[in-house]
Amino acid sequence: MSKISIEDIKKLKELSGAGLTDAKNALTEANGDFDKALEAMRKKGLTKAEKRGDRETREGRVDSYIHDGRIGAIVEVNCETSFVAKTDEFKDLAHKIAMQVASMNPLYVSEADIPEADREKKLKELEENFKGPEKMKDQILEGQMKKAFSDKVLLSQPYILDDSKTVEQFIKENIAKTGENITIRQFKRIELGVTE
């Protein structure tokens, strides 16, 4: 087993948001491999973030982003406490979500926000054009529905500053860091000369 330095423990603590003991234990389990330990800590953090997902979010902030005076977005991002809402990290998160909305023009926050009429219309269209094996029809149509709406659903979109993850994964990483549930309540996007 390789030697574990106090610098690595401190660095892992900072990057993961965990305590010193947890950081040391993760490094010990990873035999001193910093990258493995960090990955393990992130997975644990994301697992905890999943559990926090049902906690109520009544605090937060409204943020905006204006691009070149032509496109603007305003978002409401919520968390559990005013303490977290006032941190620079949370302000940065809200601003990045506003940038995402301005850049990617989503229509809905989550899949649950897609109106039933829009779902039914799209499903009917996909069924009419279906050419696959009948026994797999339901699975294939479900996948096609997800794909059809993925670019219109904010949480399903690739995150603009790191397209290896979705906006939802980016939010979950921040839940893991802050220790609080974070939700996007609403957004509005305005583009010069374009009306809905």
Q: Extract the tokens encoding 187.
A: 């957004």
Residue 39 is predicted with a pLDDT of 76
Residue with tokens 């992130």: 42
- Give yes or no for a contact between 23 and 12, defined as CB atoms under 8 angstroms apart: yes
CA dist list (Å): 192 to 65, 69, 94: 14, 8, 23
pLDDT digits 0-9 by tens, 21-36: 777 888 888 888 888 8
Residue 107 is predicted with a pLDDT of 94
Q: Is the domain 6-52 a CATH 1.10.8.10 member? A: yes
pLDDT digits 0-9 by tens, 92-151: 999 999 999 999 999 999 988 989 998 899 989 888 888 878 888 888 888 888 888 888
Amino acid at 31: N
pLDDT digits 0-9 by tens, 167-179: 999 999 998 888 8
Domain boundaries along the sequence of the chain: 6-52, 59-109+152-191, 115-150
**Phi (first) and psi of residue 180, to 5 degrees:** -125, 155
The hierarchical CATH code for the domain 59-109+152-191 is 3.30.479.20
Residue 140 is predicted with a pLDDT of 86
Separation of alpha carbons 67 and 62, rounded Å: 17
Residue with tokens 């605090």: 59
Separation of alpha carbons 101 and 157, rounded Å: 10
Residue 1 is predicted with a pLDDT of 47
Longest CA–CA separation in the chain, Å: 64
Residue 152 is predicted with a pLDDT of 93
Average pLDDT, the chain: 86
Q: What is the pTM of this model?
A: 0.67
**Phi (first) and psi of residue 89, to 5 degrees:** -65, -40
Residue 14 is predicted with a pLDDT of 67
pLDDT digits 0-9 by tens, 77-89: 999 889 999 999 9
